[in-house]
Amino acid sequence: MEPADKEKKQESKEEDKEEQKKIDPKKVLEMQLEGIKLDPEQKKMMEDADPTNSTEFREQTVKLLTQIKEDKGSKDYKVAKKMQSLTPLYDSHDFWDSQPVPKAYESYDEESLDKPIDEVKSVSDISKDPIPLPDGFYFENVDISEAAQANEVYTLLTKHYVEDDDNMFRFDYSIPFLQWALNPPGYKKEWLFGIRHVKTKQLYGFISGIPVHVNVRGKSMNMAEINFLCVHRAYRTKKMAAKLIREVTRRVNLHDIWQAIYTAGIVIPKPFSKTTYWHRSLNPKKLIDVRFSSLPQGMPKARYLKMLKLPKEPSTKGIKKMETHHVPQVHKLLHDYFKQTLQVYFEFTEEEVKHFFVPKDDGVLEAFVVEDP
């Protein structure tokens, strides 16, 4: 073999290695659609999708998923659920498309995994001034421990926070619950804030952040947990939610923290984890009567109520309400379990375990332990 041929062969091998390191969004999509029988036209759409052009690949994928949903989703519940979780990943998002978050339609290198998405910055790079708001509005910290301000947040959330598709049910977090959730050990008062109107002083938007210690695949990191993002429905056209997110990011960055964790009831790009809520109805008759839930198909109401009826006594021996003296053992049990079973988990301190798990008289939470007699 000539030297030039050897060099070409070596270059080809290097290129193959580089390609293997790339995460191909087309292959990821094929894996996600595995088990769904595509017709010839849909197969061709999949073959023609070109992942090297992210814009065209996204548009082609949206068409494919829409067609699958219309063709098979109406007949197959599992396919409909799959499309419901997949389609939003390829939709356009005015705010998230401008943010340094992973996109389902873009390829990336394996070497970029477990590394910061955004460019590395320092606190000196962060502006000390709040981001600009429309005329007539301003940011202000909210002291959730103060009764009047806590009531303002409660009222905003009760009337304008997460609700179901039919606008029948909405979360109703009590004031003691909000104070418990937002005032953990080490909380930052400037991470709890909202948007007020200059003239009325009314609270029209709110967002919260609390400091958390998160272990990501063996690496311990300081992060912010972002929650309770809410904007009054009359002001949602002013893009206040995006402004609240940008402002809380700025405030978190000023503490030299560059990662945050957050959850959403909808699919936004690009989740690294998802979960299903599992619950047991304690008063199924009431829930059915108010149409929060419904009877399983073909099951008589009396049988359903009997099935969910609780026994008079717990079947677990040694179960009792958690108390402060249990904190060290609970802390160790939690940490050991998380470490053995999860790739991403909170690293609670004993002080945080006491705050978040020991029941209080306000009825915010119940926690139980099983003692060895």
Q: What is the pLDDT of residues 49-93, one digit of tens each?
A: 888 888 889 999 999 998 888 888 778 888 888 888 888 889 888
* Radius of gyration (C-alpha) of the chain in whole angstroms: 25
Q: Between these two residues, 222 and 120, which has the higher pLDDT value?
A: 222
Residue 159 included in any domain: yes
- Helix/strand/coil percent split, the chain, to 5: 45, 15, 40
Q: What is d(CA 108, CA 91) in angstroms, rounded to the nearest whole number? A: 19
Same domain, 249 and 136: yes
Same domain, 288 and 218: no
Q: Give the model's confidence band at 107: pLDDT under 50 very low, under 70 low, under 90 confident, else very high.
A: confident
Least confident of 19-23, 90-94, 224-228: 19-23
Three-state SS for 229? strand
Same domain, 99 and 55: yes
Same domain, 92 and 131: no
Quick one: pLDDT at residue 17?
47
Same domain, 77 and 145: no
Three-state SS for 370? strand
Same domain, 247 and 163: yes
Same domain, 347 and 221: no
Same domain, 60 and 150: no
Residue 164: burial class (beta carbons within 10 Å; 0-12, 13-18, 19+) = exposed
Q: Which amino acid is at 337?
A: Y
Quick one: pLDDT at residue 9?
54
Quick one: pLDDT at residue 141?
98
Q: What is d(CA 95, CA 240) in angstroms, rounded to the nearest whole number? A: 11
Residue 11 included in any domain: no
Residue 267 included in any domain: no
Q: Which amino acid is at 295?
A: L
CB 57 within 8 A of CB 50: yes
Mean pLDDT of 338-358: 96
- At residue 76's C-alpha, the angle toward residues 74 and 78, to 5°, is 120
Q: Between these two residues, 330 and 79, which has the higher pLDDT value?
A: 330
**Size of the chain in residues:** 373
Quick one: pLDDT at residue 11?
54
The enclosing domain of 135 has a CATH number of: 3.40.630.30
Residue 118 included in any domain: no
Domain that holds residue 45: 21-111
Q: What is the pLDDT of residues 22-31, one digit of tens each?
A: 778 888 898 8
Same domain, 164 and 242: yes
CB 245 within 8 A of CB 254: no
CB 318 within 8 A of CB 326: no
Q: To 10 degrees, the CA torsion angle through 356, 362, 363, 368?
A: 50
Same domain, 143 and 107: no
* Domains of the chain: total: 4
CB 185 within 8 A of CB 352: yes
Same domain, 347 and 244: no
Same domain, 308 and 329: no
Q: Give the model's confidence band at 279: pLDDT under 50 very low, under 70 low, under 90 confident, else very high.
A: confident
Q: What is the pLDDT of residues 161-208, one digit of tens each?
A: 977 666 677 788 999 999 999 999 999 999 999 999 999 999 999 999
Three-state SS for 253? helix
Residue 1 included in any domain: no
**Of the candidates 46, 78, 111, which is a domain's last residue?**
111
pLDDT surpasses 70 at 288: yes
Residue 106 included in any domain: yes
pLDDT surpasses 90 at 292: no
Share of residues in the chain with pLDDT > 90 (%): 53
Q: What is d(CA 35, CA 84) in angstroms, rounded to the nearest whole number? A: 16
Residue 200 included in any domain: yes
Sign of CA dihedral 136, 140, 144, 146: negative
